[in-house]
Amino acid sequence: MRRPNVPKKRKTSHDHCQPDYNGRSSNVFTSKPTAVFTPSGGRSHTLTVAIPGSIVANAHSVEQKTLLAGIIARALAVFCVDEVVVFDDDENSPHDEYYGQGDYYESPIDKTSDELNGNDHSAKRYTAYSDPSHFLAHILSYLETPPYLRKHLFPMHPNLRGAGLLPSLDMPHHLRANEWCDYREGIVISSSDGGGQRRLSTQMSSYHHNRRHSSSSSTSFNATVVDTGLPKKVVLPDIQLPEYARVTVRFSERGPEHYAQPVHPSTPRSEAGYYWGYYVRRCRSLSSVFTECPFDGGYDLSFGTSERGAPVYSVLEEERQEHDNYDRRKIPPDYKHLLVVFGGIAGIEAAIHNDPQLCDMDISPTEAGKLFDYWVNLLPGQGSRTIRTEEAVWLGLTSFRGLVEGTHRPRPSYKSSSF
Protein backbone atom coordinates (compact mmCIF):
# COMPACT_ATOMS: atom_id res chain seq x y z
CA MET A 1 0.00 0.00 0.00
CA ARG A 2 1.35 3.42 -0.96
CA ARG A 3 1.85 5.95 1.77
CA PRO A 4 -0.60 8.83 1.45
CA ASN A 5 0.93 12.11 0.33
CA VAL A 6 0.60 14.15 3.50
CA PRO A 7 2.20 17.62 3.34
CA LYS A 8 4.83 18.25 5.95
CA LYS A 9 4.37 21.13 8.33
CA ARG A 10 7.29 23.47 8.59
CA LYS A 11 8.39 24.26 12.13
CA THR A 12 8.73 27.96 12.79
CA SER A 13 10.51 27.65 16.14
CA HIS A 14 13.51 25.75 17.37
CA ASP A 15 12.59 25.07 20.95
CA HIS A 16 12.31 21.32 20.48
CA CYS A 17 14.98 19.34 22.28
CA GLN A 18 16.21 16.33 20.35
CA PRO A 19 17.98 13.37 22.02
CA ASP A 20 21.48 12.58 20.84
CA TYR A 21 22.92 9.16 20.15
CA ASN A 22 23.56 8.57 23.86
CA GLY A 23 19.95 9.26 24.76
CA ARG A 24 20.74 12.64 26.25
CA SER A 25 18.76 15.72 25.38
CA SER A 26 20.34 18.27 23.09
CA ASN A 27 19.35 21.93 22.90
CA VAL A 28 20.20 22.12 19.19
CA PHE A 29 17.57 21.11 16.68
CA THR A 30 19.56 20.05 13.62
CA SER A 31 17.06 18.32 11.36
CA LYS A 32 15.88 21.64 9.87
CA PRO A 33 17.72 24.85 8.90
CA THR A 34 17.85 27.23 11.84
CA ALA A 35 19.36 30.39 10.33
CA VAL A 36 16.92 33.27 10.77
CA PHE A 37 17.70 36.86 9.76
CA THR A 38 17.93 39.02 12.88
CA PRO A 39 17.87 42.81 12.40
CA SER A 40 20.51 44.73 14.31
CA GLY A 41 19.19 48.30 14.05
CA GLY A 42 18.49 50.68 11.21
CA ARG A 43 20.75 50.60 8.17
CA SER A 44 21.14 53.52 5.80
CA HIS A 45 23.90 52.16 3.53
CA THR A 46 23.02 50.01 0.52
CA LEU A 47 24.64 47.41 -1.72
CA THR A 48 24.01 47.44 -5.48
CA VAL A 49 25.06 44.82 -8.03
CA ALA A 50 25.08 45.53 -11.79
CA ILE A 51 25.12 42.67 -14.30
CA PRO A 52 24.70 42.57 -18.10
CA GLY A 53 21.59 40.95 -19.52
CA SER A 54 23.62 39.39 -22.33
CA ILE A 55 24.67 36.54 -20.05
CA VAL A 56 21.26 34.99 -20.71
CA ALA A 57 22.27 34.50 -24.36
CA ASN A 58 25.13 32.25 -23.24
CA ALA A 59 22.60 29.68 -22.02
CA HIS A 60 20.94 27.60 -24.74
CA SER A 61 17.69 26.08 -23.57
CA VAL A 62 14.73 27.70 -21.83
CA GLU A 63 15.52 25.70 -18.70
CA GLN A 64 19.17 26.81 -18.65
CA LYS A 65 18.26 30.45 -19.08
CA THR A 66 15.74 30.24 -16.26
CA LEU A 67 18.12 28.43 -13.91
CA LEU A 68 20.87 30.98 -14.61
CA ALA A 69 18.59 33.76 -13.42
CA GLY A 70 17.73 31.67 -10.36
CA ILE A 71 21.41 31.22 -9.47
CA ILE A 72 21.96 34.97 -9.57
CA ALA A 73 18.82 35.65 -7.54
CA ARG A 74 20.01 33.23 -4.86
CA ALA A 75 23.28 35.15 -4.57
CA LEU A 76 21.47 38.47 -4.30
CA ALA A 77 19.30 37.13 -1.49
CA VAL A 78 22.03 35.34 0.44
CA PHE A 79 24.30 38.41 0.49
CA CYS A 80 21.50 40.92 1.20
CA VAL A 81 21.80 42.94 -2.01
CA ASP A 82 19.50 45.98 -1.97
CA GLU A 83 19.45 46.79 -5.69
CA VAL A 84 20.28 44.85 -8.85
CA VAL A 85 20.81 46.68 -12.13
CA VAL A 86 20.47 44.79 -15.41
CA PHE A 87 22.20 46.72 -18.20
CA ASP A 88 22.69 46.17 -21.92
CA ASP A 89 26.25 45.62 -23.11
CA ASP A 90 25.56 44.24 -26.60
CA GLU A 91 25.60 46.46 -29.67
CA ASN A 92 22.54 44.57 -30.93
CA SER A 93 20.50 45.27 -27.79
CA PRO A 94 16.98 46.50 -28.64
CA HIS A 95 16.20 50.13 -28.01
CA ASP A 96 12.50 50.12 -27.33
CA GLU A 97 10.03 52.91 -26.71
CA TYR A 98 10.59 52.18 -23.06
CA TYR A 99 13.85 54.09 -23.18
CA GLY A 100 12.41 57.22 -24.71
CA GLN A 101 9.62 57.94 -22.27
CA GLY A 102 11.70 60.39 -20.27
CA ASP A 103 9.91 61.97 -17.35
CA TYR A 104 6.85 59.74 -17.64
CA TYR A 105 8.06 57.87 -14.56
CA GLU A 106 9.07 59.29 -11.22
CA SER A 107 12.17 57.10 -10.93
CA PRO A 108 14.04 54.27 -12.70
CA ILE A 109 12.55 51.85 -10.18
CA ASP A 110 9.02 52.80 -11.26
CA LYS A 111 10.11 52.45 -14.87
CA THR A 112 11.38 48.93 -14.31
CA SER A 113 8.31 47.75 -12.43
CA ASP A 114 5.93 49.15 -15.01
CA GLU A 115 7.79 47.49 -17.84
CA LEU A 116 8.06 44.11 -16.12
CA ASN A 117 4.48 43.98 -14.95
CA GLY A 118 2.90 44.20 -18.34
CA ASN A 119 2.51 47.82 -19.48
CA ASP A 120 4.92 47.67 -22.42
CA HIS A 121 4.60 46.15 -25.87
CA SER A 122 6.83 43.13 -25.01
CA ALA A 123 4.52 42.00 -22.22
CA LYS A 124 3.13 38.97 -24.05
CA ARG A 125 6.15 37.49 -25.80
CA TYR A 126 9.14 35.38 -24.75
CA THR A 127 12.06 37.80 -24.54
CA ALA A 128 15.07 35.61 -23.64
CA TYR A 129 16.25 35.73 -27.26
CA SER A 130 14.96 39.10 -28.46
CA ASP A 131 15.67 41.08 -25.27
CA PRO A 132 17.77 39.12 -22.73
CA SER A 133 17.93 42.04 -20.30
CA HIS A 134 14.14 42.14 -20.08
CA PHE A 135 14.02 38.39 -19.50
CA LEU A 136 16.62 38.48 -16.71
CA ALA A 137 15.01 41.48 -15.02
CA HIS A 138 11.59 39.82 -15.28
CA ILE A 139 12.75 36.61 -13.56
CA LEU A 140 14.66 38.49 -10.86
CA SER A 141 11.64 40.67 -10.12
CA TYR A 142 9.37 37.62 -9.98
CA LEU A 143 11.62 35.83 -7.48
CA GLU A 144 11.96 38.88 -5.23
CA THR A 145 8.18 39.20 -4.90
CA PRO A 146 6.64 37.33 -1.92
CA PRO A 147 4.93 34.16 -3.20
CA TYR A 148 1.49 35.22 -1.98
CA LEU A 149 1.67 38.36 -4.16
CA ARG A 150 2.90 36.77 -7.39
CA LYS A 151 -0.52 35.70 -8.60
CA HIS A 152 -1.62 39.35 -8.42
CA LEU A 153 1.47 41.06 -9.79
CA PHE A 154 2.66 38.54 -12.37
CA PRO A 155 0.05 37.26 -14.81
CA MET A 156 0.84 34.26 -16.99
CA HIS A 157 3.76 35.10 -19.25
CA PRO A 158 6.00 33.08 -21.62
CA ASN A 159 9.08 34.18 -19.65
CA LEU A 160 7.71 32.39 -16.59
CA ARG A 161 7.00 29.03 -18.17
CA GLY A 162 10.04 27.59 -16.40
CA ALA A 163 9.16 29.15 -13.05
CA GLY A 164 8.74 25.72 -11.49
CA LEU A 165 12.50 25.21 -11.79
CA LEU A 166 13.37 28.38 -9.91
CA PRO A 167 14.76 28.14 -6.36
CA SER A 168 13.07 29.67 -3.35
CA LEU A 169 14.74 32.82 -2.01
CA ASP A 170 12.99 32.67 1.38
CA MET A 171 13.91 36.26 2.29
CA PRO A 172 12.69 37.97 5.48
CA HIS A 173 9.77 39.64 3.68
CA HIS A 174 8.60 36.29 2.24
CA LEU A 175 6.47 35.74 5.31
CA ARG A 176 3.99 32.93 5.81
CA ALA A 177 0.52 33.40 7.22
CA ASN A 178 1.59 32.04 10.64
CA GLU A 179 4.72 34.19 10.91
CA TRP A 180 4.73 37.61 12.56
CA CYS A 181 6.71 40.70 11.66
CA ASP A 182 6.09 44.39 12.21
CA TYR A 183 6.25 44.87 8.42
CA ARG A 184 4.64 43.06 5.53
CA GLU A 185 4.41 43.42 1.77
CA GLY A 186 0.89 43.65 0.40
CA ILE A 187 -1.15 44.52 -2.65
CA VAL A 188 -4.10 46.88 -2.85
CA ILE A 189 -7.16 44.83 -3.76
CA SER A 190 -9.83 47.49 -3.25
CA SER A 191 -9.83 51.29 -3.24
CA SER A 192 -13.23 52.89 -3.57
CA ASP A 193 -15.54 55.66 -2.45
CA GLY A 194 -19.32 55.55 -2.27
CA GLY A 195 -19.56 55.47 -6.07
CA GLY A 196 -17.08 52.64 -6.44
CA GLN A 197 -14.71 54.57 -8.71
CA ARG A 198 -10.94 54.24 -8.59
CA ARG A 199 -8.00 56.47 -9.35
CA LEU A 200 -4.23 56.86 -9.08
CA SER A 201 -4.08 59.30 -6.23
CA THR A 202 -1.78 62.28 -6.23
CA GLN A 203 -1.19 61.39 -2.61
CA MET A 204 1.08 58.60 -3.88
CA SER A 205 3.86 61.14 -4.42
CA SER A 206 4.11 61.55 -0.66
CA TYR A 207 3.98 57.84 0.14
CA HIS A 208 6.13 56.53 -2.75
CA HIS A 209 4.34 53.20 -2.66
CA ASN A 210 3.26 52.83 -6.25
CA ARG A 211 5.26 50.21 -8.08
CA ARG A 212 2.80 49.97 -10.93
CA HIS A 213 1.23 52.64 -13.13
CA SER A 214 -2.54 53.10 -13.21
CA SER A 215 -4.60 55.26 -15.56
CA SER A 216 -7.92 55.17 -13.71
CA SER A 217 -10.14 58.22 -13.29
CA SER A 218 -9.83 60.62 -10.36
CA THR A 219 -12.14 60.54 -7.38
CA SER A 220 -11.70 60.30 -3.63
CA PHE A 221 -12.25 57.23 -1.48
CA ASN A 222 -12.58 56.43 2.17
CA ALA A 223 -10.39 53.36 2.68
CA THR A 224 -7.92 51.03 1.05
CA VAL A 225 -8.01 47.25 1.48
CA VAL A 226 -4.67 45.47 1.30
CA ASP A 227 -3.89 41.75 1.04
CA THR A 228 -0.73 41.07 3.07
CA GLY A 229 -0.89 37.28 3.04
CA LEU A 230 -2.68 37.13 6.40
CA PRO A 231 -6.05 35.36 6.85
CA LYS A 232 -7.76 38.73 7.23
CA LYS A 233 -7.34 41.64 4.85
CA VAL A 234 -5.88 44.88 6.19
CA VAL A 235 -7.93 48.08 5.96
CA LEU A 236 -6.09 51.40 5.70
CA PRO A 237 -8.64 54.12 6.51
CA ASP A 238 -8.51 57.58 4.94
CA ILE A 239 -5.65 56.62 2.61
CA GLN A 240 -5.77 56.75 -1.17
CA LEU A 241 -3.75 54.08 -2.96
CA PRO A 242 -4.22 52.71 -6.49
CA GLU A 243 -5.59 49.23 -7.01
CA TYR A 244 -2.96 46.52 -7.67
CA ALA A 245 -0.21 48.72 -6.21
CA ARG A 246 2.37 46.91 -4.14
CA VAL A 247 2.67 48.51 -0.71
CA THR A 248 4.78 48.03 2.41
CA VAL A 249 2.68 48.03 5.59
CA ARG A 250 3.80 48.54 9.18
CA PHE A 251 1.69 47.03 11.96
CA SER A 252 1.28 47.87 15.59
CA GLU A 253 3.33 45.73 17.98
CA ARG A 254 0.03 44.46 19.38
CA GLY A 255 -1.00 42.97 16.05
CA PRO A 256 -2.54 43.89 12.68
CA GLU A 257 -6.03 44.31 14.14
CA HIS A 258 -4.91 47.36 16.16
CA TYR A 259 -3.06 49.56 13.70
CA ALA A 260 -1.61 49.43 10.16
CA GLN A 261 0.12 52.14 8.17
CA PRO A 262 1.72 52.25 4.71
CA VAL A 263 5.40 53.17 4.76
CA HIS A 264 8.17 53.70 2.25
CA PRO A 265 9.57 50.37 0.96
CA SER A 266 12.98 51.20 2.45
CA THR A 267 11.59 51.74 5.96
CA PRO A 268 12.10 48.13 7.17
CA ARG A 269 15.79 48.48 6.29
CA SER A 270 16.44 52.07 7.33
CA GLU A 271 14.50 52.01 10.63
CA ALA A 272 14.56 48.39 11.80
CA GLY A 273 17.53 46.90 9.94
CA TYR A 274 15.64 44.16 8.09
CA TYR A 275 16.88 42.91 4.76
CA TRP A 276 13.78 43.60 2.69
CA GLY A 277 14.67 42.23 -0.73
CA TYR A 278 16.19 43.93 -3.75
CA TYR A 279 14.96 46.42 -6.32
CA VAL A 280 15.33 45.55 -10.00
CA ARG A 281 16.42 48.36 -12.30
CA ARG A 282 17.06 48.03 -16.01
CA CYS A 283 19.44 50.25 -17.98
CA ARG A 284 20.20 50.47 -21.67
CA SER A 285 23.95 50.99 -21.16
CA LEU A 286 26.74 50.86 -18.62
CA SER A 287 26.82 54.65 -18.26
CA SER A 288 23.11 54.62 -17.35
CA VAL A 289 23.93 52.52 -14.32
CA PHE A 290 25.53 55.65 -12.87
CA THR A 291 23.43 58.43 -14.40
CA GLU A 292 20.07 56.86 -13.48
CA CYS A 293 21.02 56.00 -9.91
CA PRO A 294 17.92 56.41 -7.70
CA PHE A 295 19.93 57.44 -4.63
CA ASP A 296 20.66 61.05 -3.82
CA GLY A 297 24.29 61.80 -4.60
CA GLY A 298 24.74 58.59 -6.59
CA TYR A 299 27.09 55.75 -5.68
CA ASP A 300 29.95 57.01 -3.56
CA LEU A 301 31.99 53.78 -3.78
CA SER A 302 32.21 51.64 -6.91
CA PHE A 303 34.09 48.49 -7.92
CA GLY A 304 34.60 47.12 -11.40
CA THR A 305 35.59 43.48 -11.78
CA SER A 306 38.05 42.16 -14.36
CA GLU A 307 40.88 39.67 -14.66
CA ARG A 308 43.04 42.70 -15.48
CA GLY A 309 42.37 44.37 -12.13
CA ALA A 310 44.34 44.33 -8.89
CA PRO A 311 43.83 41.30 -6.63
CA VAL A 312 40.86 41.95 -4.40
CA TYR A 313 42.71 40.71 -1.31
CA SER A 314 45.33 43.40 -1.92
CA VAL A 315 42.77 46.16 -2.35
CA LEU A 316 40.83 45.42 0.86
CA GLU A 317 42.48 45.60 4.24
CA GLU A 318 41.13 44.60 7.62
CA GLU A 319 40.05 47.42 9.89
CA ARG A 320 41.82 46.71 13.16
CA GLN A 321 40.36 47.84 16.47
CA GLU A 322 41.96 48.16 19.87
CA HIS A 323 39.19 46.41 21.79
CA ASP A 324 38.40 42.75 21.23
CA ASN A 325 34.72 43.19 22.06
CA TYR A 326 34.31 45.95 19.50
CA ASP A 327 31.16 45.54 17.43
CA ARG A 328 31.79 47.10 14.00
CA ARG A 329 28.16 46.61 12.96
CA LYS A 330 27.08 49.37 15.32
CA ILE A 331 29.03 51.96 13.31
CA PRO A 332 28.05 52.64 9.69
CA PRO A 333 30.72 52.14 7.02
CA ASP A 334 32.51 54.97 5.28
CA TYR A 335 30.27 54.77 2.20
CA LYS A 336 26.53 55.27 1.74
CA HIS A 337 25.86 53.42 -1.50
CA LEU A 338 28.21 50.69 -2.72
CA LEU A 339 28.16 49.54 -6.36
CA VAL A 340 29.78 46.36 -7.73
CA VAL A 341 29.71 45.92 -11.53
CA PHE A 342 30.24 42.56 -13.25
CA GLY A 343 31.01 42.10 -16.93
CA GLY A 344 29.54 39.70 -19.45
CA ILE A 345 31.23 37.13 -21.66
CA ALA A 346 33.58 39.73 -23.13
CA GLY A 347 34.00 41.69 -19.89
CA ILE A 348 33.16 45.25 -18.93
CA GLU A 349 35.34 46.45 -21.79
CA ALA A 350 32.71 45.28 -24.29
CA ALA A 351 30.05 47.29 -22.47
CA ILE A 352 32.20 50.40 -22.80
CA HIS A 353 32.78 49.76 -26.50
CA ASN A 354 29.01 49.51 -27.13
CA ASP A 355 28.03 52.47 -24.95
CA PRO A 356 27.27 55.53 -27.14
CA GLN A 357 27.62 57.98 -24.28
CA LEU A 358 31.04 56.69 -23.27
CA CYS A 359 32.17 56.68 -26.89
CA ASP A 360 31.13 60.32 -27.22
CA MET A 361 33.30 61.03 -24.18
CA ASP A 362 36.27 59.33 -25.94
CA ILE A 363 36.52 56.69 -23.23
CA SER A 364 38.14 53.58 -24.65
CA PRO A 365 37.78 50.00 -23.37
CA THR A 366 41.42 50.06 -22.27
CA GLU A 367 40.48 52.78 -19.76
CA ALA A 368 37.69 50.73 -18.19
CA GLY A 369 39.27 50.82 -14.74
CA LYS A 370 38.96 54.61 -14.59
CA LEU A 371 35.16 54.39 -14.56
CA PHE A 372 35.27 52.96 -11.04
CA ASP A 373 36.89 53.82 -7.77
CA TYR A 374 38.56 50.39 -7.72
CA TRP A 375 39.34 47.89 -10.48
CA VAL A 376 39.72 44.43 -8.97
CA ASN A 377 40.40 40.82 -9.91
CA LEU A 378 38.19 38.50 -7.87
CA LEU A 379 40.23 35.33 -8.35
CA PRO A 380 43.86 35.73 -9.43
CA GLY A 381 45.40 32.54 -10.79
CA GLN A 382 42.09 31.03 -11.86
CA GLY A 383 42.31 27.48 -13.16
CA SER A 384 39.70 27.93 -15.89
CA ARG A 385 40.23 30.32 -18.76
CA THR A 386 36.94 32.03 -18.03
CA ILE A 387 34.74 32.65 -15.00
CA ARG A 388 31.06 32.88 -15.80
CA THR A 389 29.20 35.94 -14.59
CA GLU A 390 26.89 33.90 -12.35
CA GLU A 391 30.02 32.43 -10.75
CA ALA A 392 31.67 35.83 -10.48
CA VAL A 393 28.65 37.21 -8.62
CA TRP A 394 29.07 34.61 -5.87
CA LEU A 395 32.85 35.11 -5.76
CA GLY A 396 32.56 38.89 -5.71
CA LEU A 397 29.91 39.13 -3.02
CA THR A 398 31.92 36.73 -0.87
CA SER A 399 35.06 38.85 -1.35
CA PHE A 400 33.23 42.09 -0.47
CA ARG A 401 31.47 40.66 2.57
CA GLY A 402 33.95 42.25 4.96
CA LEU A 403 33.54 45.63 3.27
CA VAL A 404 29.76 45.43 3.58
CA GLU A 405 29.92 44.40 7.24
CA GLY A 406 32.46 47.11 8.06
CA THR A 407 35.34 44.83 9.05
CA HIS A 408 37.38 45.79 5.96
CA ARG A 409 38.01 48.93 3.98
CA PRO A 410 39.63 49.65 0.58
CA ARG A 411 43.22 50.85 0.48
CA PRO A 412 43.42 54.41 -0.88
CA SER A 413 46.64 53.57 -2.75
CA TYR A 414 44.71 51.30 -5.14
CA LYS A 415 42.05 53.87 -5.98
CA SER A 416 41.73 54.54 -9.70
CA SER A 417 42.17 58.00 -11.15
CA SER A 418 38.76 59.09 -12.39
CA PHE A 419 38.02 60.91 -15.63
Q: Where are the beta strands (DSSP E) in 199-254?
A: 223-227, 234-237, 246-252
**pLDDT value of position 237:** 83
Same domain membership, residue 233 and residue 313: no
Same domain membership, residue 391 and residue 306: yes
The answer, yes or no, to whether residue 198 has pLDDT greater than 50, is no
Same domain membership, residue 238 and residue 306: no
Return contacts of 102-107, CB within 8 angstroms, 24+ apart.
105/213, 106/205, 107/294
The answer, yes or no, to whether residue 6 has pLDDT greater than 60, is no
Pairing of strands 337-341, 25-26: unpaired
**pLDDT value of position 164:** 92
Same domain membership, residue 376 and residue 248: no
Pairing of strands 246-252, 255-263: antiparallel
- Provide the pLDDT confidence category of residue 41 given band limits of 50, 70 and 90: confident
Would 28 be classed as within a structural domain? no
Same domain membership, residue 339 and residue 287: yes
* Nearest to 419, CA basis, from 365, 371, 351, 350: 371
Same domain membership, residue 138 and residue 87: yes
Region 244-269 average pLDDT: 85
Q: Give kind and range of the element (H or E) at residue 5.
A: none
State the DSSP string of 113-162.
HHHHTT-STTTTS--TTT-HHHHHHHHHHHHHS-HHHHHHH----GGGTT
The whole-angstrom separation of Cα 236 and Cα 215 is 22
Region 357-374 average pLDDT: 91
* Nearest to 185, CA basis, from 130, 229, 248, 268: 248
The answer, yes or no, to whether residue 106 has pLDDT greater than 90, is no
Mean pLDDT over the full length of the chain: 79
Do residues 187 and 247 lie in contact, with contact meaning Cβ atoms separated by under 8 Å? yes
The answer, yes or no, to whether residue 220 has pLDDT greater than 50, is no
Domain span at 249:
175-190+223-273
* Nearest to 59, CA basis, from 117, 143, 128, 9: 128
Would 309 be classed as within a structural domain? yes
Do residues 48 and 85 lie in contact, with contact meaning Cβ atoms separated by under 8 Å? yes
The CATH number covering residue 181 comes to 2.40.50.140
Full-prediction pTM beyond 0.85?
A: no
Would 142 be classed as within a structural domain? yes
Q: What are phi and psi of 191, to 5 degrees?
A: -140, 110
Same domain membership, residue 257 and residue 183: yes
Would 101 be classed as within a structural domain? no
Higher pLDDT, 307 or 240: 307
Would 33 be classed as within a structural domain? no
**pLDDT value of position 324:** 53
Same domain membership, residue 138 and residue 69: yes
Proportion of the chain above pLDDT 70, given as a percent: 72
**pLDDT value of position 149:** 94
* Nearest to 213, CA basis, from 82, 135, 98: 98
The answer, yes or no, to whether residue 202 has pLDDT greater than 60, is no
State the DSSP string of 200-211.
--TTHHHH----
Would 40 be classed as within a structural domain? no
- Residue 364 CB neighbours (<10 A): 12
Region 104-132 average pLDDT: 58
Higher pLDDT, 53 or 215: 53
pLDDT digits (tens, 9 = 90+) for 386-400: 899 999 999 999 999
The whole-angstrom separation of Cα 230 and Cα 123 is 30
Same domain membership, residue 182 and residue 137: no
Same domain membership, residue 351 and residue 286: yes
Please, which residues have CB within 8 angstroms of residue 116's CB and are 6 or more apart in sequence? Answer: 134, 137, 138, 141, 280
The whole-angstrom separation of Cα 36 and Cα 283 is 33
Would 150 be classed as within a structural domain? yes
Q: Give kind and range of the element (H or E) at residue 370.
A: none
Same domain membership, residue 183 and residue 234: yes
Number of domains making up the chain: 2
Q: What are phi and psi of 187, to 5 degrees?
A: -135, 140
The CATH number covering residue 291 comes to 3.40.1280.10
Would 115 be classed as within a structural domain? no
Same domain membership, residue 341 and residue 255: no
Do residues 107 and 295 lie in contact, with contact meaning Cβ atoms separated by under 8 Å? no
